[in-house]
Amino acid sequence: MLSAVAEYIATKGTQKVAIFQSLCGVVPTGVQNTKKSNAYNLGGVRKGAPTNIPFHVLMKIGTFLGGESFYSIAWSMLLVFCDCMVYRRLLTLWFVLYYVGQYLKDLLQLPRPLSPPALKLEHLDEYGMPSTHAMGAFGCSIYLAIMLPEISNYQFSAWVTISIAVIWTLTVCISRVYMGSHTFEDVIGGLILAGSILIGFRSIESNLDSFFLKTDYMPFYLFALITFLLIIYPKPHNSTWSESFGDTAIVGGVFCGCMIAFWYGARYGSEPDFAWLIDEVSFAPKEFLSKIQNIERIKVIILSAFVLLPLVMAFKFLVKAASIKVLKAIFREPKKDKTYRVEGTAKLLAYMSIGLSQVSLYRVVENYMTNWLQSS
């Protein structure tokens, strides 16, 4: 069955990608690079060049809107402007979508579009089916489009939020085919999978949120769960490391760290610096607009970001460096080798520190910056 699917992708699926790229103005450049031939990109890579620059820019934006860099920025912005209930639930959904998508990629091991006839505008050493860009864009945007109008403090029209979600999703999905990274089948499979997960998540999101905030010893349970999920994650044969596994460890670490911080805030909400962590709907629309219009508030946000980002990144660097050094010594592995148990564990712990410190320290830094500006 899988061999038949792989053959279809290699022939008809890839041909559709090549036709679509041609219609969009992508032309071949250079010769085929057979040195980049691997299990993910069979036969090598032939690069393409855009001729329709405005459309190419739009597709680059679509690629960005579905990638890890965008989500890193989005989580920080949500932390500043959004209430914590929405933040927790969206973060949980994002982790589930990403883990399931990456798990299936390395389980099915279906290659990306053959190049040629498809042309590569980006190079990725991961398997193709399903598209996690499509899963994340569809799942997260549709979830926000449905959820925000349901909360009385957010005066959003359902038609407006759904329209934005549809445009966002379409831009991301089309960009994946345009860049030569996925077939239409990869994208459609990701959309169907994300829709199924979203339906199931909506039925249990309240119970999950309650578990993360109220369960005794939740941090231990959650860390054990993330560790178990990484242990059972499918790993390619005869390999010591895969980038898709590393990305999954990163997402799991951020999710675990943030949820531990929220749990701590729920337990010690009487502390001034942590009370905000358990606000169910902390910012009403008028308050949100006042934050945007208030110049002093904007100064506080910018200064807080400049102070917090170096602190968080320094913490992450120290945790990862210390973890790798200790784990290399324990397992007696060469310093330059990347392995699942060492590099994977180090990434998990490092990005846990990012989630934990970002959520826990933001309001502390913000209060300090507010007092500093008022006194200066």
This prediction's pTM: 0.80
Reported as a single tens digit per residue, the pLDDT across 113-159 is 777 777 777 777 677 788 888 888 888 888 888 877 666 555 666 77
Please report whether residue 9 resides in a domain: no
Reported as a single tens digit per residue, the pLDDT across 326-335 is 777 777 777 6
Reported as a single tens digit per residue, the pLDDT across 90-121 is 888 988 998 998 888 888 888 787 777 777 77
Q: Tell me the pLDDT band of 228, cut-offs 50, 70 and 90.
A: very high
- The residue ranking higher by pLDDT, 281 or 171, is 171
Decide if 182 is catalytic.
Answer: yes
- If one counts the domains in the chain, the total is 1
Please report whether residue 365 resides in a domain: yes
Question: What is the pLDDT, as a whole number, of residue 33?
Answer: 54
Query: Is the pLDDT reported for residue 286 higher than 50?
Result: no
Q: In the structure encoding, which two tokens stand for residue 16, read together?
A: 């559709």
- Nearest Cα neighbor of 139 from 171, 172, 181, 97 is 97
Please report whether residue 305 resides in a domain: yes
Please report whether residue 317 resides in a domain: yes
**Cα of 256 vs its chain's centroid, Å:** 13
Q: Tell me the pLDDT band of 24, cut-offs 50, 70 and 90.
A: confident
Query: Is the pLDDT reported for residue 317 higher than 70?
Result: yes
Query: Is the pLDDT reported for residue 281 higher than 60?
Result: no
Nearest-angstrom CA–CA distance, 250 and 185: 27
Query: Is the pLDDT reported for residue 285 higher than 50?
Result: no
Please report whether residue 57 resides in a domain: no
Decide if 133 is catalytic.
Answer: yes
Please report whether residue 321 resides in a domain: yes
Q: Tell me the pLDDT band of 197, cut-offs 50, 70 and 90.
A: very high
Strand-strand pairing, 48-50 and 26-28: antiparallel
Query: pLDDT averaged over the chain?
Result: 75
Contacts 24+ apart (CB under 8 A), 56-60: 56/25, 58/171, 58/175, 59/24, 59/171, 59/174, 59/175, 59/178, 59/179, 60/175
**DSSP strands (E only) in 86-148:** none
Query: Is the pLDDT reported for residue 284 higher than 50?
Result: no
Domain range for 280 is: 215-376
Among 55-59, 227-231, 254-258, 372-376, which is the least confidently predicted range? 372-376
Query: Is the pLDDT reported for residue 4 higher than 80?
Result: no
Amino acid making up residue 212: F
Please report whether residue 158 resides in a domain: no
CA distances from 238 to 84, 242, 271 (A): 43, 11, 51
Residue 112 has a CB neighbour count (10 Å cut-off) of 27
- Per-residue pLDDT, averaged over 15-36, amounts to 72
Query: Is the pLDDT reported for residue 313 higher than 50?
Result: yes
DSSP for 167-212 reads HHHHHHHHHHHHTTS--HHHHHHHHHHHHHHHHHHHHHHHHHHHHH
Name the catalytic one among 56, 123, 182, 237.
182
- The residue ranking higher by pLDDT, 38 or 173, is 173
Please report whether residue 346 resides in a domain: yes
Q: In the structure encoding, which two tokens stand for residue 250, read together?
A: 């990163």
